Structure 1
Amino acid sequence: MNEQILNETARAMVAEGRGILAADESTGTIEKRFKSIGVENTEPNRRAYRDMLFTTPGFEQYTSGVILFEETLFQSALDGTPFPKLLASKGVIPGIKVDKGAKPLAGAADELVTEGLDGLRERLVKYKEAGARFAKWRAVITIGDGIPSDYCIHANAHALARYAALCQEADIVPIVEPEVLMDADNTIEVCASVTDRTLEAVFHELHGQRVLLEGMVLKPNMVISGKKCPQQADRETVARATLRVLKRRVPAAVPGIAFLSGGQSDEDATAHLDIMNKLGPHPWKLTFSYGRALQAAALKAWGGGNADAGRKAHLHRAKMNGLAALGRWEPALEKAA
């Protein structure tokens, strides 16, 4: 592996005031999104939607990279330009989701493990030829009665590290995404404990499998109350609890942390990131790698045909999160918009 290329790309992915657009929804996931606006899930509609996002004028000011679904990596914009080439022309780094999804973990009820390692080395060669310079693998950790088990955490950490090592062998920067889900009724303290256990296991495996920390980006959840918890932690508490876990478990060698939004509201995801950056400086850059929190407003505004309205909504959310990555966001900016 070329350590210089990996480090330079990783640092560019977490550049000052810029973050990563997660536009890697699978065909099944985007069908749910399209159903919410009454749009049929067809290849031309998926292409048109991604074209709207990627041709938003000025979004590159706030966006360092885009995670693509495999179909999108090999598609072209409506003007015929391959999507990776279009993004690169704007100074936006193309990336690719490489995992095959979370499946039931054998011998562990209600727990999941992400699959997709078989054939990954060969697929990475193909993706790099198509223009991808980084990749993403999402592990899912569920909070529930007696779970997550150590077995589940370590199975997912091991797979994440194997994926990361294969990426770096191909000079592709791995985004390492261990997501502790926020769907249960757990308190923020439980989320903090599970996130701590998860990150400890992940970095133990990364070290054991010789992954270059300077050539990766971490994409964790924020430490947050479960959606069904009657006592929701406030924004300041979320920010401080998240930083406490990260400072315990994430080595300073990692160039940056690009948070997932994990089902938070658009504004909460922005506000939490902003507060964390206001509490800086930190050993690593803190930025965003949001899917729904960047796209929900744009999807609704687009509605299947209004590209200009979709681009306007996309640019606004990208700008708000770009400011949050600098610690310069204020709620008044949302009201003004």
Structure 2
Amino acid sequence: MNDQDMTIKIAEGDGFIAALDQSGGSTPKALRAYGVADDEWNGEEEMFAKIHEMRSRIITAPSFNGDRVIGAILFERTMDGMADGKPVPTLLKERGVVPFLKVDKGLEDEADGVQMMKPIPGLDALVARAKDLGVFGTKMRSVINSASPKGIAAIVEQQFEVGKQILAGGLMPILEPEYSIKAEDRAEGEVILRDEILKQLEGLPDGQQVMLKLSIPAVPNNYKALVDHPKVLRVVALSGGYTRDEACDELAKNDGMIASFSRALLEELRAQMSDDEFDAALAEAIAAIYTASTQKVTA
């Protein structure tokens, strides 16, 4: 797939984007959920080797292909790694899956009800390297914990500022200002978030687009204006702590939003499974998330 093919696949393809981008801080928890205990690895290199084994098993499974999975978000080490004897981005594209790269370096401490992204040193060089490896886009996450107009405006401004830098490097940015599903004022705050994103979109030059990764809204279709906006290539949803069944039920109420799930995709997978059991469990998850992304219901 060339850049035009990947743009069309992401803009128009039926399916969802798999989030396989757990980073250093969340990797031990992800491994435990997968059935790999802490005493089965020693040190960061062995930890990342274990998580790479898990991700390689996922992306080489028969059910993981471009028929239902249109994209995959990778951790940097996964992007640089090999699977089935090939560079991971190359293998994904051969299977019809568009590769993305997580580029953020974690979160600042909370201020004004939000957690901004930490600085991303070397971003231009990382974007250039990812592009050379055939990656289509990037993803970066920050978090909103309360309906603070000042905090939400700042977090959206930062996302767009870095997004423009990524666009200048030739990749498609996924902006992810996650709204915590635990926040009691989420419905109110998500209106503020939507309107701040719309303001920033108006400042993008004509012909440029971004993607958005947002929590499934408390009020269905709150983000429909973003889904329909000409400067938004696609709006994807994170599972945000919901179980897969919960996330799928909520996502199906939102027209035009597709999934970009991590935990909700992987929750039934275990290292101890046979290859057939593993692929059957993965196929079941893919089918459920695909259905929620493509078959909508009235809220």
Give the match for residue 289 of structure 1: 260
Q: CA RMSD in A?
A: 2.4
Matched, 1:28 2:31: no
What CA distance in whole angstroms lies between the structure 1 residues aligned with 2:145 and 2:68?
A: 32
Please, which of 102, 119, 131 is the counterpart of residue 128 of structure 1?
Answer: 131
What CA distance in whole angstroms lies between the structure 2 residues aligned with 1:68 and 1:326?
A: 23
Matched, 1:323 2:294: no
What CA distance in whole angstroms lies between the structure 2 residues aligned with 1:288 and 1:164?
A: 21
Please, which of 302, 313, 320 is the counterpart of residue 271 of structure 2?
Answer: 302
Please, which of 75, 80, 87 is the counterpart of residue 69 of structure 1?
Answer: 75
Unaligned runs of 5+ in 1: 225-240, 278-284, 330-337
Tell whether the 8 Å contact from 2:112 to 2:148 is kept in structure 1 after alignment.
Answer: no
2:223 alignment partner, SS class: helix
Matched, 1:168 2:167: yes
Matching of residues 215-254 of structure 1 within 5 Å = 215-224=209-218, 241-243=219-221, 245-248=222-225, 251-253=228-230, 254=232
Please, which of 97, 108, 114 is the counterpart of residue 103 of structure 1?
Answer: 108
Give the match for residue 44 of structure 2: none
CA displacement at 1:58 relative to structure 2 = 3.0
Matched, 1:208 2:164: no
Please, which of 140, 159, 169 is the counterpart of residue 137 of structure 1?
Answer: 140
Tell whether the 8 Å contact from 2:227 to 2:235 is kept in structure 1 after alignment.
Answer: no
Unaligned runs of 5+ in 2: 42-46
1:215-236 Cα distance to aligned partner (Å, 9 max, x none): 3222111123xxxxxxxxxxxx
1:57-103 Cα distance to aligned partner (Å, 9 max, x none): 132211011000001000111x3211111101101111100111111
TM-score (norm 2): 0.86
What CA distance in whole angstroms lies between the structure 2 residues aligned with 1:211 and 1:31?
A: 43
Amino acid across the alignment from 1:125: A
CA displacement at 1:251 relative to structure 2 = 4.8
What CA distance in whole angstroms lies between the structure 2 residues aligned with 1:295 and 1:111?
A: 27
Give the match for residue 276 of structure 1: 254
1:99 alignment partner, SS class: coil
What CA distance in whole angstroms lies between the structure 1 residues aligned with 2:112 and 2:188?
A: 21
Question: Relative to structure 2, which stretch is displaced further, 255-264 or 40-49?
Answer: 40-49
TM-score (norm 1): 0.77
What CA distance in whole angstroms lies between the structure 1 residues aligned with 2:227 and 2:187?
A: 14
What CA distance in whole angstroms lies between the structure 2 residues aligned with 1:212 and 1:121?
A: 22
Please, which of 79, 82, 89 is the counterpart of residue 84 of structure 1?
Answer: 89
What CA distance in whole angstroms lies between the structure 2 residues aligned with 1:122 and 1:207?
A: 28
2:182 alignment partner, SS class: coil
Tell whether the 8 Å contact from 1:95 to 1:136 is kept in structure 2 after alignment.
Answer: yes
Tell whether the 8 Å contact from 2:114 to 2:155 is kept in structure 1 after alignment.
Answer: no
Q: How many residues align?
A: 286
1:58 alignment partner, SS class: coil
1:114 alignment partner, SS class: coil
Tell whether the 8 Å contact from 1:162 to 1:209 is kept in structure 2 after alignment.
Answer: no
